[in-house]
Structure 1
């Protein structure tokens, strides 16, 4: 029995590896069908109207991005404000580091 230093793969990684193995086995068993499938998939992707998909997705992203960024900015500002309200008590008087709520503005 060999001890491995590698950690077990992530479940998604293991699933992807298994899918690749299945595809490889299929290509080895049925090379002509695999080539025909690849050509068909490529032709289908080529014929799809990409502009019909890209334009609405770009418009939706442009519409949703500013409010999303504002929301994320507000969340970050709230986090920073909450961190400024609580700080270690030992930082002021050398005692054990405990956290206490400050009343009033921060001392300069």
Structure 2
């Protein structure tokens, strides 16, 4: 976990999350530390889109529905999608401690 200090602002993001934000959006640590709430929401929305794009199903038993626990055993996400999902889960105020 890397902590980036910008004035009194501290952000806690993993190295994988920082690298993802750099590769996907061209954001440096300094730029991340200055994001507004609206900018962070836009990034989270883009990450949600990536998570959806990177989620796939194995062969699915067509008799299963989303109400069946076994349905979700067939759902998988790539590493890129998992990192995007971890960013989606970060609320703005969690960035700044």
TM-score bin (small chain): under 0.3
User: Which has the larger share of helix?
Assistant: 1
Question: Which structure ranks higher in relative contact order (CA pairs < 8 Å, sequence separation ≥ 6)?
Answer: 2
Q: TM (normalized to structure 1)?
A: 0.24
User: Which has the larger share of strand?
Assistant: 2
Q: TM (normalized to structure 2)?
A: 0.26
* Structure with greater Cα Rg: 1
